[in-house]
Amino acid sequence: MDEVIQVTQWLSSITPRKKAKLFFFTTHADAPSPMVGSNDVDTHEETQLPLATTVALHNFKNIDEFLKKKVNTFSCYNVIENEITKTDYEYLRFYSACKYLDVVPPFLDLEKISAIQNKFEMTDEERDYRLLLDSADLVLEKVCDSLKPAGVSQMWTALRKDRNLIRGVKTIDIIGFFVDPNPTGIKECLFFFIVRFLQKADKINRVNTNRLERLIAQCDESSSCEEGKTIDFIIDSLRFYPTGLYPFGSCLIMCVIEGRDGAMQEIEKTMEISRHLGMITHTEKNPTKETIELVKKELMKPKYQFYSSFTCWFMSHGDSNSMVLADGETIEREWFLTSFPDISTFQLKPKVFFMVSCRGANKFSLKGDESEGQSATCDYYDIGSALIRNRMLDITDSVRDISYVQPMMDTLVAYSTILDHLSGRANTHGSIYVDRACVLMSENISRGRSLTEILEHLSQDLHEILQETMDEDRIVYKQACHYDSFFRKTLKLPYTRHPKEDVHSAPQ
């Protein structure tokens, strides 16, 4: 069959709502910087004009033309072996969006997709199409699904009132002030236009969503929300880090085995819980400085742009400032923690570090206590009053910026013990902190708890356990863990274990 006819038939089989979503997922706002041609990002017209004309004319002709152009580009594209291009990235995004929406063209060349994945050096686990979807776009899709056409129309009215923001933007004028979003697919086009417009204007990104939240907050709840949804529910969904789909993220486990009883148990437990949470896991036993540098270089590869979070477990001996490596060399803990968050592939994504080592020799001992211990070797607030509100600073958009981000932002560091103190380890099971952390994360996976809630529970649980030194003094003591958080959103653990199978229910 002629390819033009195939493309026409394929487009005619897609509902208007899915066309809008396919366009949205395909015109992803954040192109990866390490890729060849990444500076040639989609122009303003390519990403917004088709949406604007579709809303204004109630006609999907321009979106159809855009999708035809993409298909034709991919059909003629020759995969180059030695360099990753912008087209490679777009091809994978297009394929994953089609797969997610259950509209994969029968004529799409899957061998080219496999060849592109080879260029990204993807493992079998990483070839799951869900890795290629942008988790932030999926959250925005769910927000759109929770709003009625009237709600999106109210958002548009509120946006139009911000004259400084929309001044001189031609696509805004194409849509006009008053919009009828009721025809099928028009609500989605208007909502996605608003989102992409705010992204291009540097008003929102995958972490900073306050400007979008303010638009939603101006909607009338009785007319704007789908059944069972509320304005608060919709806004709350934007206050979590977008990590909802498999894989939950990339997990790196680094463990010094030499001279640490139970170290293999630590590896097994952390591997089990990371896989249970749906992470793709890599393990480094007995790491050295060279190992750490190689791992950092690995994490800068373009494929890690597709991951939505990063978790690292580092388990070794240590003191107040440093950690002991497998070859006896030491590294400064602060150097380790500040070098990883600056990796560009995980910018604006949650990064969690579990630092499991002693930070000194002190212990909180229970003098005179005869109890036997576990043997161990060593921003949002509600302003309800107008008076209070009037006393607050009026922070205008002109003094807000989301473009420049401190490297440590979106990072959480969890320590197995407090400064200058021991971190207890059982002879056979390894770190007691690791054991309790894995148990609590496993128990809470079906409850939708946030990571910080679990860490607070862990702090309580660990501090109840009586530990005992193995020297002749047999001192009974308690261990206190804590964490430092630079998070700007809440990181919620998955409700259920993520299957690795290629299974999904297609959106409407």
Q: Is 500 exposed, middle or buried (0-12, 13-18, 19+ CB in 10 A)?
A: middle
> Can you say how many angstroms the Cα of residue 44 is from the centroid of all Cα atoms in its chain?
26
For residue 502, pLDDT over 60 is answered with no
Q: Would you give the distance in Å from CA 260 to the centre of its chain?
A: 33
Q: In the 8-state DSSP scheme, what is residue 14?
A: S
Amino acid at 130: R
Q: What is the pLDDT of residues 450-467, one digit of tens each?
A: 999 999 999 999 999 888
**Would you state the pLDDT for residue 392?**
62
Worst-scoring range by mean pLDDT, 6-15, 322-331, 395-404, 490-499?
A: 490-499
Beta strand spans in 410-487 (E): 411-415, 425-426, 430-431, 467-468, 476-478, 482-485
Q: Given a cut of 80, is residue 73 above it in pLDDT?
A: yes
pLDDT for 32 equals: 45
Q: How far apart are CA 244 and CA 448, in angstroms?
A: 11
> 386: how many CB neighbours lie within 10 A of its CB?
8
Pairing of strands 310-315, 249-255: parallel
pLDDT (0 to 100) of residue 336: 93
Terminal alpha carbon distance of the chain: 29
**Nearest by Cα to 262 from 428, 464, 22, 129:** 428
Confidence tier at 396 by pLDDT (50, 70, 90)? confident
Is the pLDDT score of 383 beyond 60?
Answer: no
Please tell me the predicted confidence (pLDDT) of residue 37.
Answer: 42
How many angstroms separate the Cα of 219 from the Cα of each of 80, 165, 183? 49, 19, 20
Which residue stretches of 35-134 are H helix? Answer: 44-57, 61-76, 86-101, 110-119, 129-132
- Share above pLDDT 90 across residues of the chain, in percent, rounded to a whole number: 66
State the Cα–Cα distance between residues 78 and 263, nearest whole angstrom: 48
List residues bridging with 431 in a β-sheet. 425
pLDDT band at 496 (very low <50, low <70, confident <90, very high): low
Structural domain boundaries of the chain?
A: 3-28+43-239, 249-363+405-486
> How many angstroms separate the Cα of 365 from the Cα of each of 95, 277, 421, 456?
59, 36, 11, 22
Q: Would you tell me which CATH number, out of the four given (3.40.640.10, 1.10.246.90, 3.20.20.70, 3.40.50.1460), belongs to the domain 249-363+405-486?
A: 3.40.50.1460
Q: Which of 225-234, 350-359, 372-381 has the least mean pLDDT?
A: 372-381
